[in-house]
Structures are given as C-alpha cells and as structure tokens.
C-alpha cells in the first residue's frame, strides 16, 4: 500500500513544528512539501527538510492525499473548502474555523465525500490527559477546575485568550464529561491588549450536575497548566507541563480522627512528543478509515462553547463600560 502523501499549508511558528514532525514520520507518510504566502519562508523551510516549496495551493493539492492547515484561523474555511473539493483529508489547527457556520459547512461537505477531518487540540495527546479515562473509571465527578496561564506575548494580537488558550481546556473538559453544557457564566478583562480579552474565567454547569471552572490568562507572570478533578472518593491533580498526576484518596475515620491520606503520584514520560502522536494519529485514521480522537464535530463543539463565552464576556465589558459612564441604572 502506498504511503499517504501529506503537505503542510502555513509555515509560521506552529506550521514549522508540523513540518519538523512530518519529516520525522517518514515511516508513516510521504511528506511532499509546503506552501505559504511568504514564498521565501516556504522555500527556506522546504530546503532545510529536503522537500518542495509549492508556488500555489492548487499545485500542492494536486500532489497530496491530505493537507495540514496551520494558517491564521480566518483562512481555515477557504483553504479547507478547496481541499475538500480536491478530495483531500484535512488536519486543521484549532480552532476549526472562524465561525460556527463555516465549520458546519465544511463538515457537511467532508461527510458527503467521506473525508477525514481532524482538529489540532493537541492536549488530548498529552499522556497525562490520555491516562485520565482509566483513572476516572467508577469515580463520580463533582467538579473540575482548569488553569491555563502565562505571561503576555505581544506577538499574539489577532485573537483573545478564550480562542487562543481557553479553547484547549474546553475541549479537554468535554472529553472528560461527555455530556452537554446546561449553563455558562463568564467574565473577563482587557489588560494589555487594545481590544481583546487577556484574562477570562468561565463557569460551566453540565447536565449531569458537574461544575467546571476554566481560567485562562496571558497576563500572569508564571506559566501554569493545571487541571484538578474533585470526585466523591478522590482529589486528582494533573500538571500538563510535567505530565504528572497526583491522586489523593478520601480519608477514613480511625480512632475518632482521620487516618493519613493515601496519595499516589504518577509521572508519564511519553516516548514520543504529543505533536508527533497527533500527526501519526491523523495518518492512521486516514489509512484505517477510523474516527480521529478529535474529529470535526469535536472541534465544532469547542468552537460553539468558545463563541458563547466570548459573547458573554464582551457583553459584560460593554455593560461595565456603560455602568462607569452612568448609562446603566
């Protein structure tokens, strides 16, 4: 069987990592080359990996079976639609598209042609996150709390912290609690950006009663990537960066007092980085005609929740500004 031929579209900061990873997956796929509007950057990257720098999307799409789209979100729809028209499988960086309507149209078009659509929510390939389903077997979740925080990066000025950071954890929470969201309450602040939210907190109430609190910040002078889960029997602490889980089991009464808590720590040292795992999964999903771990529908659900949170926060911003001006009584 011939190997799947893949091309990368977009060689910015994320696209470069995709190129590096595909070049290391020669046993799984045939990495044909790259395309970018910046032809000089495309040629420089292509030359360094011994692949072709295509002069147009049309030229690249004629040469491959699948495309990896790592361009700005506003361009995802048009590029992915063209790929579907050329019967190509797609891996889209998150978020899937800029609007819900665009995502729905893409997924319907891909469904009609039985094409694979995978969305790049890479945290699902973090080995600690992948260990959670087994650890949660038999556990009744009460609450989830997630914090994704870090310093300000002036290079990211075209989106807010909800779409840039929080969306990762919205997807993770949905994977932990496969039930619909019954209520959302969100707040945020513009701190350093001109018009985009830099700090956001959203409380989600699930249909099964689970409460999830998701915090995202790009104005915190420490990088934090942590998730905690409270169950009836345990307290589970997960560190995304250290790929570590600490489980504290419920204390038991003993001689009129509490016995010592039973604490278990496990560190997951993956043999392969999450990005390579993600791309390998994409190739295998195409070859085996199986559902990707994060398919287009998952990406759409994360986008829908992102839009709800953004709308709430920006409406609150408007209300707060009006209140300061004395326009709200």
| Separation CA 321–CA 314 (nearest Å) | 11
Taking residues 147-176, what's their average pLDDT? 92
Structure tokens at 178: 């496969």
Contact (Cβ atoms closer than 8 angstroms) between residue 286 and residue 65 = yes
Question: Does residue 1 register a pLDDT over 60?
Answer: yes
The whole-number pLDDT of residue 265 equals 76
Question: Does residue 65 register a pLDDT over 50?
Answer: yes
pLDDT tens, 201-228? Answer: 999 999 999 999 999 999 999 999 999 9
The whole-number pLDDT of residue 316 equals 79
Taking residues 277-294, what's their average pLDDT? 97
Taking residues 104-123, what's their average pLDDT? 98
Question: Does residue 300 register a pLDDT over 90?
Answer: yes
In sequence order, which residues have a C-beta less than 8 Å from that of residue 176 and are 6 or more positions away? 132, 136, 141, 144, 229
Domains delineated in the chain: 4-115 (3.40.50.720), 124-271+307-315 (3.30.360.10)
pLDDT tens, 237-277? Answer: 999 999 999 999 865 445 545 455 577 777 777 667 899 99
| Separation CA 28–CA 198 (nearest Å) | 40
Q: Which residues pair with 216 in a beta bridge?
A: 148, 200
Query: Could you tell me the pTM of the whole model?
Result: 0.90
Secondary structure in 3-state letters for 96-144: CCCCHHHHHHHHHHHHHCCCCEEEECHHHHCHHHHHHHHHCCCCCEEEE
Give the whole-number percent of the chain exceeding pLDDT 70. 91
The whole-number pLDDT of residue 261 equals 58
Structure tokens at 227: 């998730």
Residue of 307, 292, 279 lying closest to 69 (CA atoms): 279
| Separation CA 307–CA 283 (nearest Å) | 30
Per-residue CA distances from 314 to 188, 230, 307, 329 (Å): 8, 30, 11, 19
Mean pLDDT over each residue of the chain, to the nearest integer: 91
Report the first-to-last Cα separation within the chain, whole angstroms. 70
The whole-number pLDDT of residue 253 equals 44
Cis peptide before 293 (omega within 30 of 0): no
| Separation CA 321–CA 299 (nearest Å) | 33
| Separation CA 226–CA 127 (nearest Å) | 14
pLDDT tens, 6-52? Answer: 999 999 989 999 999 999 999 999 999 999 999 999 999 999 999 99
Question: Does residue 324 register a pLDDT over 90?
Answer: no
Question: Does residue 325 register a pLDDT over 70?
Answer: no
Residue of 42, 314, 321 lying closest to 159 (CA atoms): 314
Residues 24-42 as b or e (16 or more Cβ within 10 Å = b): bbeebbbbbbbbbeeeebb
The whole-number pLDDT of residue 66 equals 98
């Amino acid at each position: 069987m011939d190997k799947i031929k893949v091309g990368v579209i977009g060689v910015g900061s994320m696209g470069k990592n995709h190129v590096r990873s595909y070049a290391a997956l020669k046993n799984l796929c045939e990495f044909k080359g790259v395309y970018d509007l910046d032809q000089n950057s495309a040629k420089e990257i292509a030359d360094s990996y011994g692949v072709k720098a295509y002069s147009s999307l049309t030229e690249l799409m004629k040469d491959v079976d699948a495309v990896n789209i790592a361009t700005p979100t506003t361009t995802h729809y048009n590029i992915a639609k063209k790929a579907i028209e050329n019967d190509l499988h797609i891996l889209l960086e998150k978020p899937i598209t800029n609007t819900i309507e665009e995502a729905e149209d893409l997924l319907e078009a891909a469904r009609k042609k039985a094409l694979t659509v995978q969305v790049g929510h890479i945290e699902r390939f973090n080995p600690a996150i992948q260990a959670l389903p087994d650890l949660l077997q038999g556990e009744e979740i009460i609450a989830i709390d997630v914090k994704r925080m870090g310093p300000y990066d002036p290079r990211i000025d075209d989106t807010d912290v909800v779409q840039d950071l929080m969306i990762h954890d919205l997807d993770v929470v949905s994977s932990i609690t496969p039930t619909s969201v019954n209520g959302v309450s969100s707040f945020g602040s513009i701190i350093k950006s001109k018009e985009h939210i830099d700090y956001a907190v959203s409380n989600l109430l699930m249909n099964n009663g689970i409460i999830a609190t998701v915090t995202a910040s790009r104005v915190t002078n420490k990088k934090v990537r942590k998730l905690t889960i409270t169950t009836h029997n345990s307290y589970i602490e997960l560190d995304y960066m250290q790929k570590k889980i600490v489980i504290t089991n419920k204390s038991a009464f003993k001689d009129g007092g509490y016995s010592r808590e039973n604490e278990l720590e496990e560190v997951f040292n993956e043999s392969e980085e999450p990005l390579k795992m993600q791309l390998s999964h994409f190739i295998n999903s195409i070859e085996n005609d199986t559902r990707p771990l994060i398919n287009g529908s998952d990406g759409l659900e994360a986008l829908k929740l992102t839009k709800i949170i953004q709308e709430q926060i920006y409406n609150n911003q408007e209300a707060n500004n009006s209140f300061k001006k004395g326009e709200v009584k």
